[in-house]
Structures are given as C-alpha cells and as structure tokens.
Amino acid sequence: MRNNFEQYSGKIASISTMLLLVCLLCVTAAPVTAQWTAERGSFRYAVIVRNDTYADPEWAEVVDSLVAKYSASVFSYNSSMYDIQESLGAYAPDYMAFVSEWNNATATYVDSIWKFGRGLDEDPYGDAIWGIITGLEVSDALRIATGPEGFDVKTVLGGTLSCDLSHYPQGIATSEATYGLYYTKALNDPNTVMHTDGPTDRTEWLVSCLNADTVDIFITSGHGAHYQWQMHYPSTGNEGYFRSSAGQAYGLAHSGTSFDINSVNAKIFFGLGNCQIGIIQNSYSMALGWLKSAGAYFYTGYVINEGSYSQQHGGTKAFFERQVHYTWPEAYFLANQELYYDKYNGVPGAGGAPDLNGSAMYGDPAMEARVADVGVYDELLYTEEVLIDSSGSPWQGTVRITMNIEGTPGYTSKWGNRHPLILLPVRLEDITVVSHDCKDVVVTDNFVLLYIWCQGEDPLPAGTTREVVFTCNPLTGISGGDVQILIDCNLASCPNPFSGSTVISFDLPEQMPVTLEIFDISGRLVDTLIKDTMPAGTNTVTWGGNVANQVPSGIYICRLVAGSGNYTTRVVHLR
C-alpha cells in the first residue's frame, strides 16, 4: 500500500512541520553521476563465482555485465573459494564482487569472505573492497550489476535517533524509544529541530517516506532478526515491525495493517544496531525484500548478534559521514581494517570487537554511493592529504591529516570516531616507514592507518597535523599488468542522450594503444570504434550510422582501454 506522504504528514503534524517535512522528503531525487568510474582512473575488479552458478545462462549475464562495466576478470571455483585464492592474490584486485544465489549467501559464506579477503597477501589486513551481488531472483542481482556507477546520498531517514542526522544535507531522525519524538534538518540549515508531535506508531509514516522515492539512506537500530526489524525498543510497545516476504519489504503496524514498501530510487539500507538482520536464511529474509521491492542498491547488516562491543557499523558511518566522505563500500572496508587493528593492539576502550567477521554488505563494491556535497551540515573531523613522489627510485610517500575542528580522532565508542585510515590511490610494495609523529602507524599496499589519539587524552585542537613519511615502489608482477598512476582521460560523449550519432572524446597524455568499444547493458559487445595507436591530446570518434541506428534505444556502455587504464561512461541512445 502506497500512501501520499504530504497527506499523511498533515494528519500527524502541525502545518509548519508538515511543510518542512514535505520540503525534506518530496524534493527531486539527486541525479545519478555518469562518470564516477572515469574519475577514479584504473582499478582491478574481480568477479568471484561458483562454476555451477556461472554455468547458468541467467547468472552468467550478471557476471558478464560486471565484466563489461568494469573490465573485470572472472575467478570461478567448484566448491571452495580458497581454490582460487592464490591466483586472485596474483591479480591483486581493488574490488571483489561475489556473485551468488541467495541460498548460498549464508552467514557462514559471509564469515568466509572476510577471512578469504585477508589472505590474498602476507599482511593480516583485508586486501580488497568487497560486496555480495545476489537477490531472490536473478533479475534482482542483474539490477545491481547493471546499476549506476554512483549516486548521491542527500536525504537520510532514521528509524533511530542514532542516525547522525546533522552529518547529512537533510533528513528526519525518529525515536525508537520515545513516542512522537523526531528531529528534522533542512538542506541549507546546519541545525536540527526537535518535534514531539509524531505518531505513536511510526510504521505507516516511515513507509510513506520511503515510498516518496527521495530517501537515499535508511538507518535502523534496536531488536532485529533476519526477517524483521522491531520498530520500538526495548519492548515492542505500541509500534509495529518492518518485515519481508517473498521479496516484498513491508511495514506491519501495531494494529495489524500492512503497508508495502515499493520504491525505485537508489538507496542504502543500514541496520546500524540490529541483531542478525543481515542474514539471508530463506525467502522471508529482509535483505531480499530490500534488494527487490525497496530500491536498495546496498543492504548492510549483522549476521551475528549485535552488542555493546560491536564496532564494524560504527566505523562504517565514521568513514562515510563523520570523519571523511568515502563511498559506502570503501567506508565498510576501512571500518573492518580499523576493527582488526583495535582488536589485536589493545586500543583503550575498544574491547573485544566480536563482529570482526560478523557483518554482510550486499551490493556492488565499486558503486560510488557518497554523501552529497550540497547544503550545509557538520564539518568533517579532518582533511586527508596523500602525496606520492614517483620521480625517483624508490618512490616517497607522505600521508597527512589536518584537524578541521577540535576533536578526538580515535575510538570513542562503538558508534563514535575512529583512527584516521586513508585509502591509497595506487597499490604499493617494498614499503619502509621513514618517520612519523603518531603513536603508531600501519602502511599496507592499499591503506595507511594513523593511531594519534586514545581515550583519556584531551581532544586535538583544530589545525593539528599528523603525518607519516615512507618509501615504496609501485606494486609490480600483477597478472594483467603493472599498477600505474593514470590521468583522467575525460572520456565523454556529446550529445548524450543522442539520436543519430554522438561524438565520443578522450584525452591522452602521450601516444599509446587504445581500444574503444560499445557494450549493451547486458555486457554484449555492440561495436568496436577504435583499436589502434592514437596520438597525444584530444581524440574524437563518432558513433552513429548503420550500427548505432540498428540497435534499440537504451543505455550503452562506452569502454576505453588506454595503455593499462580502463575507463567507462554511459551513452543513452534514443531512436
């Protein structure tokens, strides 16, 4: 059951509050950014899939779509993913997409992925950003695989007051413990406003907000299970549940009335503090409903019982919206590396961290869902700088953070701050730390951790800097070619959308071999435009004529391979 949010808000709130809520949640959805991948330059994307799954033509289409989208390499296995661990380690992927039928994506499978991902090289940390691509039906997995390169996260909806409302451009945070209590934040106002006139049972209200197709991230906390979120905490009280059945997410009010969640805009579901809500156990599991009917491109939740010492999800939101603005998969990955460090180095206050392998993320690990740079919201805790001087041998690297505000860049609580942890723009080896002014540092082939503050110490003043200097070399000997720092080739097409023909342009720093191809959304090669050595500077080619006019209207993937760099952009063809 879909409900008109504006009409419902009028029943539960004053006129002034109603207008504010309508402004917050009925705005035009943020446009998908078309060139996320091109802006990131070169990376290695591995698709990991069982042989029997890959043998199914429908699941093969999911795999092939990822190959076309990211120039990915496929690693298939019979019964154990450890059979391909050595070859995958030689490939040194930046991203790992585990394509799986839902009945194989168990809690044990999630546990194995975490352990598997730490074993691709000699250090004990994770070696690639990962996600599980699955769904109740193959079409659900294909939707994720062929989804946008990225989307902006502008509007937060909190089923909990712990959703960090002030760190987002706009949104609503509702209380799971106090009836009628909620907070709002408008786009151009840094302040949050408290209200006490919300409904006793939030079920229909929250479903209406989601069905308005403008919520970019929905955050929950409280009691959970693989098939439900209990809305009130700690008791059920006078509120209902969010549940799923056969791929349909819905809210079940305290009265017994159900309200279907049918939403199409790209979004993140984040079970911040729910036990077992990330488990896929049967067709009633929440993840399957949110990936099918609710429009989620990411579903993140625990596959274990969440508790007072859980850290994974607190670290995820720290790196997503409190300290820096990493993408959702990047933040999820970095949080786990931080958790590993805290667990095995006795960081004050961090505790035992039982959730090291206990959280699942369903979605494309290279999709760039990131907090939107619009409006006003709380300032980030610090600014990161990564400087790599490749003019000599060995290279010299410097990683520095500067505090933007007075604060505590370290473990503060299970849902609080974390040590600065910075992703590197290029994979490294032969690393030697030359100097640092931190308590401790970790420099791996793909990230740097700075331990600079712990509980019991005074906050660091704004303007404080900490840095590490190290020597290194680019990671070589990788199957598929050596890592390079690549410039942005500015791959673009104009007009886009087009009818008849479009001019595709790209920039090269020097003369080099180039392949430029067009794929359809399922990954099938449609046309090869260039396969030649091209000169330095701006190059252009027209796609049109017989081939373009014979293919149907739709979205096509333009892939440029320049040297060892891979870039993609989307072209929309209208007949």
Spell out the SS3 assignment of 552-569.
CCEEEEEEEEECCEEEEE
The percent of residues in the chain predicted with pLDDT above 90, rounded, is 68
Bridge partners, residue 248, by sequence: 245
Query: Cβ distance 461 to 469 under 8 Å?
Result: no
Query: Cβ distance 396 to 471 under 8 Å?
Result: yes
Rounded Cα distance, 523 and 538, in Å: 27
Residue type, 527: D
Rounded Cα distance, 233 and 231, in Å: 7
pLDDT, one tens digit per residue, over 167-178 is: 999 999 999 999
Domains 382-474 and 492-573 share a fold: yes
Asked whether the predicted pLDDT for residue 17 surpasses 70, the reply is: no
Looking at residue 564, its pLDDT comes to 56
Please name which of 152, 205, 210, 153 lies closest in space to residue 174, comparing C-alpha atoms: 205
Rounded Cα distance, 47 and 55, in Å: 14
Q: Looking at per-residue confidence, does 526 or 21 come out higher?
A: 526
Retrieve residue 40's tokens.
Answer: 């990131």
Please name which of 232, 214, 210 lies closest in space to residue 223, comparing C-alpha atoms: 232
The percent of residues in the chain predicted with pLDDT above 70, rounded, is 87
pLDDT, one tens digit per residue, over 139-172 is: 999 999 999 999 999 999 999 999 999 999 999 9
Q: Which of 71-80, 174-183, 422-431, 483-492 has the highest mean pLDDT?
A: 174-183
pLDDT, one tens digit per residue, over 498-519 is: 778 888 888 888 888 888 888 7
Looking at residue 518, its pLDDT comes to 85
Contacts of 476 (CB under 8 A, 6+ apart): 429, 482, 483
Rounded Cα distance, 256 and 332, in Å: 36
Retrieve residue 269's tokens.
Answer: 């579901």
CA distances to 107, 159, 241, 257, 271 from 222, rounded to whole Å, are 20, 9, 11, 21, 9
CA distances to 81, 376, 558 from 67, rounded to whole Å, are 19, 38, 13
Mean pLDDT value of segment 264-278: 97
* Residue 565 confidence class, pLDDT cut points 50, 70, 90: low
Q: What is the mean pLDDT of the chain?
A: 87
Rounded Cα distance, 323 and 304, in Å: 26
Retrieve residue 77's tokens.
Answer: 């296995």
Q: Does residue 86 sit in helix, strand or coil?
A: helix
* Residue 25 confidence class, pLDDT cut points 50, 70, 90: very low
Looking at residue 494, its pLDDT comes to 78
Q: Where are the alpha helices (DSSP H) in 354-453?
A: none
Q: Looking at per-residue confidence, does 555 or 367 come out higher?
A: 367
Rounded Cα distance, 494 and 575, in Å: 16
Mean pLDDT value of segment 15-27: 39
- Domain 492-573 fold is Immunoglobulin-like (2.60.40)
Looking at residue 62, its pLDDT comes to 94
Rounded Cα distance, 316 and 321, in Å: 9
* Residue 575 confidence class, pLDDT cut points 50, 70, 90: low
* Other CB atoms within 10 Å distance of the CB of residue 255: 11
CA-derived radius of gyration, the chain: 24
Give, for 199, the enclosing helix (H) or strand (E): none
Looking at residue 467, its pLDDT comes to 97
Q: What is the CA angle 414-415-418, rounded to 5? A: 80
Bridge partners, residue 505, by sequence: 492, 540
Rounded Cα distance, 541 and 136, in Å: 41
Q: Which of 76-80, 123-127, 289-293, 549-553 has the least mean pLDDT? A: 549-553
* Other CB atoms within 10 Å distance of the CB of residue 424: 17
Q: Is the dihedral of CA 270, 273, 274, 280 positive or negative?
A: positive
Asked whether the predicted pLDDT for residue 7 surpasses 50, the reply is: no
Quick one: how many helices (H) and strands (E) in the chain? 13, 33
Looking at residue 59, its pLDDT comes to 94
Q: Is the dihedral of CA 38, 328, 66, 245 positive or negative?
A: negative
Q: State the distance between the two ends of the chain, measured CA to CA, in whole angstroms.
A: 36
Residue type, 26: C
Q: Looking at per-residue confidence, does 569 or 143 come out higher?
A: 143
Query: Cβ distance 355 to 343 under 8 Å?
Result: no
Exposure b/e, 231-254, CB count within 10 A at least 16 = b: bbbeeebebbbbbbbebbbbbbbb
Asked whether the predicted pLDDT for residue 483 surpasses 80, the reply is: no
* Residue 30 confidence class, pLDDT cut points 50, 70, 90: very low
Mean pLDDT value of segment 259-277: 97
pLDDT, one tens digit per residue, over 549-560 is: 677 777 777 878
Backbone torsions φ then ψ of 284, nearest 5 degrees = -90, -5
Burial (CB count within 10 angstroms: exposed 0-12, middle 13-18, buried 19+), residue 460: buried
Looking at residue 391, its pLDDT comes to 81
Query: Cβ distance 557 to 521 under 8 Å?
Result: yes
Query: Cβ distance 155 to 187 under 8 Å?
Result: no
Looking at residue 507, its pLDDT comes to 85
Residue ranges covered by each domain of the chain: 5-32+150-326, 382-474, 492-573
Looking at residue 543, its pLDDT comes to 87
Query: Cβ distance 442 to 424 under 8 Å?
Result: no
Asked whether the predicted pLDDT for residue 374 surpasses 90, the reply is: yes
Retrieve residue 561's tokens.
Answer: 């391979």
Sheet holding 440-443, edge to edge: 421-423, 447-451, 440-443
Pairing of strands 193-195, 182-185: antiparallel
pLDDT, one tens digit per residue, over 88-102 is: 998 899 999 999 999
Asked whether the predicted pLDDT for residue 56 surpasses 50, the reply is: yes
Residue type, 185: K
pLDDT, one tens digit per residue, over 274-313 is: 999 999 999 999 999 999 999 999 999 999 999 888 999 9
Retrieve residue 250's tokens.
Answer: 């819905």
Mean pLDDT value of segment 370-390: 93
- Domain 382-474 fold is Immunoglobulin-like (2.60.40)
Looking at residue 549, its pLDDT comes to 64
Please name which of 223, 406, 373, 412 lies closest in space to residue 302, comparing C-alpha atoms: 223
Q: Looking at per-residue confidence, does 522 or 21 come out higher?
A: 522
For residue 424, give the DSSP letter.
Answer: -
* Residue 352 confidence class, pLDDT cut points 50, 70, 90: confident
